[in-house]
Amino acid sequence: MPHRIEVILKPGIKEALGETIAHRIRKHLGKEVERINTVEVYTISEDLPSGMLELFAKEALCDPIVQNAMVNKSTALERDFHWAVDVAYRPGVTDNVGRTAREALALLMELPVDQVPSVHHSRQYLIKCHPDHVLSALDVESIANDLLGNKLIQSFSVYDRSTIKEMKKIQPKAPKILESTDVFTENIDLDVSDEELLRLSRERVLALSLEEMKQIQAHYRRPEVMEIRRHKGLQTRDGEATDVELECLAQTWSEHCKHKIFNADITYTDEEGRTEKISSLFKTYIQGATKEVRRAAGEDDICLSVFKDNAGVVKLDDEWSLVFKVETHNSPSALDPYGGALTGIVGVNRDPFGTGKGASLIFNTDVFCLASPHRRKELPPRLLQPLRVLEGVREGVEHGGNKSGIPTVNGAVVFDERYLGKPLVFCGTGGLMPAEINGKPSHEKAACNGDYIVMVGGRIGKDGIHGATFSSEEFHEGSPATAVQIGDPITQKRMFDMLLQARDKGLYTAITDNGAGGLSSSVGEMAEDPGGADLDLGKAPLKYSSLQPWEILVSEAQERMTLAVSADKIESFMELARRFSVEATILGTFNDSGYFTVRYNENVVGHLPMEFLHGGLPPMKLTARFDPAPESDPSSEELWLSAENTTGSWNRVLLEMLSRYNICSKEYWIRQYDHEVQGGSVVKPLTGAHDDGPSDAAVLRPLLGSMKAIVVSCGICPRYSDIDTYHMAACALDEAIRNAVCVGADPSRLSALDNFCWSDPIKSPQNPQGPHKLAQLVRANKALYDLCIAYGVPLISGKDSMKNDYRSGDIRISVPATLLVSVLGIMEDGRKAVTSDAKKPGDVVYILGQTRCELGGSEFLATKNRVGCSVPKVRPQETVPRYKALHKAITAGLLRSCHDASDGGLAVCLAETSLGGDLGMDIDLSKAPVQRPGGSDLPPEVMLFSESQGRFVLTAEPDKTEELENILAPHGLSRVGLVTDDSIFKMRTTNDKVLINLPVSDIRQAFKEALSSERF
């Protein structure tokens, strides 16, 4: 019989969680409540020995100072409330608290964990209504649905006070999976019509096209294939595949895993009607750029392993290698923002960990693209309120990063209404590994013929089934809920602790992550080196017994790595795993048979030639046509600026710009992420006199005994895509590089990652815009190619997510073409790092880099609901030598501060420098370097807010200015003013006309309040 233990706070103890929930009910849902109390509920699935329940409650679950526990009795009646809502996980959903409580019970009972009853955690919310706003049962249900939980993964029970009073207690109910006894493999006849093939693909969520289905059909029709299958003892008839094989092929061939669009044959026509053929964007532009950069670098090439492993690997020095990968987790985050983002961050942790022999993890990054959190409009079906999405993804990354002990050092948040349909959640992780481990290069690995296939970490459940294929389609009302899961950072941390020991002892030959596609993908890919594998799904450890073989194969259940362990090491490996309480299971062997053989105990349930599995997919043939919308730049008059052309109005415009969501302080996020664990923090995300100025990039020392530092930065500017994705991509790369150089990274030792998030670029009746979107992709690739070569920055890894659309009936919401560029830099000496805040009154302020008439796609025009056409352009002939010279000045210690001008232009950049230092500035903008067409003065809105690339605001102490000017004068440097001690931020222009005159405190307030914690 199940039992229920309730733990409640003692009277008088502050309900921090309850207060947060009450605040959110008011803020997010617009409903009044008086108070929320919370009760932690533990359900024990079966009877325990006498007295054990009480002991368990007292010893393990209840803090005697602040909590009371009750066994099989409702604590709610001790509180004044109107409604009680129990929120419990649905059966099979990862329940971290329940897992920990069960381990505690096992310790108490002195038994192994799997021999004690399961424990399930749920939470009860006691709602006391506001006297003037009585909540109905319906109101309470909507609070449960919209805030307290997510019905995809949680169930709700609502009680009113009198019901609980009558019952005295709530009947305990342990979530239980209905265990079906029939485990079987289905044979699927592929000798069917085209319509039938398409129906199969759709109904099984295979996400395969007709052409791909026919490719598979043809395989099974080949006589030699039939012969081998009969010989192998597969229980299929000729022309039939097993469900295991079909699922395995669908995962391996999914857009998510195979990047079919990036590898397609594309016929591209530009705006002038010129046509060219491109065979694989990836090979031509991404790999192509890196190849050229590496060739040009010669002996100075820093790349060690690019585009072949889970993450890119570059040299830090001769003894250490750096690993970096950024992933997106958009589709799961649309369904369950918390779980999606949590699995996003702990998932990308496994990429550097599964790269080469395995890296220890040294930093995380996070970039979110979201709709405005304070949008209050009716939502299309199945979409979640943007505020809830924001809070969910923020908290998911918080729990994933903080609990893993990895500092979240860099990130960005971009707001645009078009992210309502699918939020973009980019999660990145960097790693560090010795260049050599046990005498061999750490970035190389290969499973060997005869090695055991060992799965380590969590168990397999139905969670995450079809994640890879699901993310390869658009988000719709019927999107599968099983794609949602909750991450478990502690199980993963235990596994990483153990695996790092195993790595250093040389206990395994290869390692990879179980991410998209699960075992199908990890074993299938590792088997490429030895040339085959024999995998027994019957041996796989399961969370519950009702999984079909195909589900075991493709489940994306988290916290699992697959390893190759040689026969002579297997015993030591398994012993180490046992000691660290980490589950490790031998699932078969790697071989050189040329086949990926899948068994379920005695039966062969899948037998696929490696060659067909990995090489059988023909490239797609696609058409791209660039068809830009006609746009022109609005004139000053059109913008109604003439009327505003006074000091007071420019003051107002600047304050409005500083409080734009895309510009304002993200301190609310930053503070909730541990950004300095591991002890090597040098430049933090916030800087300055009051730790509240924005930093351009992170600087950290991964080796605590050394001054060597790494720099992490990013660039993202999707607004420019509305004009031209070529310049969007160029600017994203320039911004990331500029940010890195700004804090002190050596521009000759940078590497970059590209993450594309696009709207579906394949033409269909529902998607007539497909060819233009594909052309946008082509242009972005061309820009990356041109600029990476110009800067000598290799692309070392990347990812694409191509179906970021939402569709319901006639409503289609597509994300703007978005490219995130993440840059990893190296500094020989972290002590040379420079921050963005002004340091001392009397310091000289400089602007480096020309301002041009480039308001197109700017944050300023967005305030006028305009896009314009003069998009900022990157001019590497100017910026490449400029960045080198700037680095020289930084290394020589000539700068007090350096800040990159991006969103919001010079006015925002100068204001941030001033507020960071809590010091005034007196700036004469007419002295700023400019490129003016026809010699005329640039209008004030351009001088203030144009987003021309390649610009910086610098400050220097007066006695260093001569040396500084010697180095930077040839690169567009002008002295524009001074840092002052009067706490006034002042900008003048020609004839001493004052444009802006504001107290620094006003600037700080505008910057900090727009998205401060009170707004959530």
Q: Of the candidates 3, 4, 31, 99, which one interacts with another protein according to CB under 8 A? A: 99
Least Å from the CB of residue 144 to another protein = 20
Q: Which residues of 937-960 are buried (b: 16+ CB within 10 A; e: fewer)?
A: ebbbbbbbbbbbbbbbbbbbbeeb
181 is a site residue for another protein (CB under 8 A)? no
Least Å from the CB of residue 926 to another protein = 31
Angstrom distance (rounded) from CA 336 to CA 318: 43
Contact criterion met (CB below 8 Å) for 994 and 921: no
Least Å from the CB of residue 36 to another protein = 11
94 is a site residue for another protein (CB under 8 A)? no
- 3, 120, 259, 329: the active-site residue: 329
Q: Of the candidates 72, 96, 157, 267, which one interacts with another protein according to CB under 8 A? A: 96
Q: Of the candidates 8, 44, 53, 61, which one interacts with another protein according to CB under 8 A? A: 61
Nearest of 931, 940, 867 to residue 636 by alpha carbon: 940
Return the H-helix or E-strand segment holding 683: strand 681-683
At residue 638, the 3 state secondary structure works out as coil
44 is a site residue for another protein (CB under 8 A)? no
Angstrom distance (rounded) from CA 692 to CA 1003: 12
Nearest of 21, 39, 41 to residue 31 by alpha carbon: 21
Using CB under 8 A as the binding rule, the residues of this chain from 861 to 880 that contact another protein are: none
16 is a site residue for another protein (CB under 8 A)? yes
Query: Measured from the CB atom, is 47 or 497 closer to another protein?
Result: 497
Query: Measured from the CB atom, is 272 or 959 closer to another protein?
Result: 959
Least Å from the CB of residue 704 to another protein = 5
The arrangement of strands across the sheet holding 424-434 comes to: 303-305, 312-315, 320-328, 424-434, 360-370, 408-415
581 is a site residue for another protein (CB under 8 A)? yes
Query: Measured from the CB atom, is 98 or 794 closer to another protein?
Result: 98
Query: Measured from the CB atom, is 488 or 941 closer to another protein?
Result: 488
Query: Measured from the CB atom, is 394 or 866 closer to another protein?
Result: 394
Choose the stretch contacting another protein; rule: CB under 8 A; options: 428-436, 745-753, 778-786, 826-834.
826-834
Contact criterion met (CB below 8 Å) for 462 and 482: yes
Using CB under 8 A as the binding rule, the residues of this chain from 976 to 1015 that contact another protein are: 1013
Query: Measured from the CB atom, is 37 or 946 closer to another protein?
Result: 37
Choose the stretch contacting another protein; rule: CB under 8 A; options: 329-337, 825-833, 905-913, 933-941.
825-833
Q: Of the candidates 154, 835, 913, 948, which one interacts with another protein according to CB under 8 A? A: 835
At residue 826, the 3 state secondary structure works out as strand
Query: Measured from the CB atom, is 125 or 159 closer to another protein?
Result: 125
Using CB under 8 A as the binding rule, the residues of this chain from 360 to 399 that contact another protein are: 398
Asked whether the CA dihedral 618, 623, 626, 629 is positive or negative, the reply is: negative
CB atoms within 10 A of CB 924: 18
Q: Which residues contact 1015 (CB under 8 A, 6 or more apart)?
A: 27, 373, 374, 668
Query: Measured from the CB atom, is 388 or 625 closer to another protein?
Result: 388
Choose the stretch contacting another protein; rule: CB under 8 A; options: 465-473, 624-632, 814-822, 835-843.
835-843
Q: Of the candidates 8, 101, 547, 930, which one interacts with another protein according to CB under 8 A? A: 101
Query: Measured from the CB atom, is 407 or 609 closer to another protein?
Result: 407
Q: Which residues contact 630 (CB under 8 A, 6 or more apart)?
A: none
107 is a site residue for another protein (CB under 8 A)? yes
Least Å from the CB of residue 579 to another protein = 5
571 is a site residue for another protein (CB under 8 A)? no
Angstrom distance (rounded) from CA 661 to CA 368: 12
At residue 1002, the 3 state secondary structure works out as helix
Q: Of the candidates 831, 888, 932, 1015, which one interacts with another protein according to CB under 8 A? A: 831
Least Å from the CB of residue 897 to another protein = 8
User: Strand ranges (DSSP E) for 181-319?
Assistant: 187-189, 240-242, 265-269, 275-279, 303-305, 312-315
Angstrom distance (rounded) from CA 709 to CA 721: 34
Residue linked to tokens 């009480």:
54
Q: Of the candidates 511, 833, 908, 968, which one interacts with another protein according to CB under 8 A? A: 833
Is 476 annotated as catalytic?
A: no
Q: Of the candidates 489, 517, 849, 905, which one interacts with another protein according to CB under 8 A? A: 489
**CA separation, residue 518 to residues 467, 534, 607 (Å):** 9, 16, 17
Q: Of the candidates 36, 60, 384, 911, which one interacts with another protein according to CB under 8 A? A: 60
Angstrom distance (rounded) from CA 606 to CA 453: 17
Q: Of the candidates 448, 490, 542, 869, which one interacts with another protein according to CB under 8 A? A: 490
Angstrom distance (rounded) from CA 747 to CA 733: 13
497 is a site residue for another protein (CB under 8 A)? yes
**DSSP string covering 741-788, please?**
HHHT--GGG-EEEEEEE----S-BTTBTTHHHHHHHHHHHHHHHHHHH
Q: What's the 3-state SS for 910-963?
A: HHHHHHHHCCEEEEEHHHCCECCHHHCCCCHHHHHHCCCCCCEEEEECHHHHHH
403 is a site residue for another protein (CB under 8 A)? yes
Backbone angles phi, psi at 119, to 5 degrees: -125, 135
Q: Of the candidates 54, 78, 103, 878, which one interacts with another protein according to CB under 8 A? A: 103
Kindly determine how many residues on this chain lie close enough to bind another protein according to the rule CB under 8 A: 68
- 3, 121, 256, 443: the active-site residue: 256
Query: Measured from the CB atom, is 233 or 679 closer to another protein?
Result: 679
Q: Of the candidates 418, 494, 779, 887, which one interacts with another protein according to CB under 8 A? A: 494
Query: Measured from the CB atom, is 579 or 888 closer to another protein?
Result: 579
Query: Measured from the CB atom, is 406 or 723 closer to another protein?
Result: 406
Is 256 annotated as catalytic?
A: yes
Q: Of the candidates 421, 830, 856, 868, which one interacts with another protein according to CB under 8 A? A: 830
164 is a site residue for another protein (CB under 8 A)? no
| The two three-digit tokens of residue 572, written as one number | 């030591």
User: Strand ranges (DSSP E) for 207-355?
Assistant: 240-242, 265-269, 275-279, 303-305, 312-315, 320-328
Angstrom distance (rounded) from CA 243 to CA 34: 54
Choose the stretch contacting another protein; rule: CB under 8 A; options: 171-179, 348-356, 573-581, 1001-1009.
573-581
**DSSP string covering 513-569, please?**
E--TTHHHHHHHHHTTTTT-EEEEGGGS-BSSS---HHHHHH---SSEEEEEE-TTT
| The two three-digit tokens of residue 482, written as one number | 């099983």
Choose the stretch contacting another protein; rule: CB under 8 A; options: 60-68, 303-311, 415-423, 548-556.
60-68
Query: Measured from the CB atom, is 681 or 751 closer to another protein?
Result: 681
Return the H-helix or E-strand segment holding 713: strand 709-715
Residue linked to tokens 């693909």:
201
Angstrom distance (rounded) from CA 344 to CA 396: 8
Q: Of the candidates 52, 97, 177, 481, which one interacts with another protein according to CB under 8 A? A: 97
Angstrom distance (rounded) from CA 428 to CA 324: 7
Least Å from the CB of residue 65 to another protein = 4
Least Å from the CB of residue 498 to another protein = 8
Angstrom distance (rounded) from CA 662 to CA 903: 8
Using CB under 8 A as the binding rule, the residues of this chain from 651 to 710 that contact another protein are: 670-682, 684, 686-689, 691, 701, 704-705
Residues carrying an active site annotation: 256, 329
Binding interface with another protein (CB under 8 A): 13-14, 16-17, 19-20, 59-61, 63-66, 96-97, 99-101, 103-104, 107-108, 110, 121, 398, 402-405, 488-490, 493-494, 497, 579-581, 670-682, 684, 686-689, 691, 701, 704-705, 830-831, 833-835, 837, 839, 1013
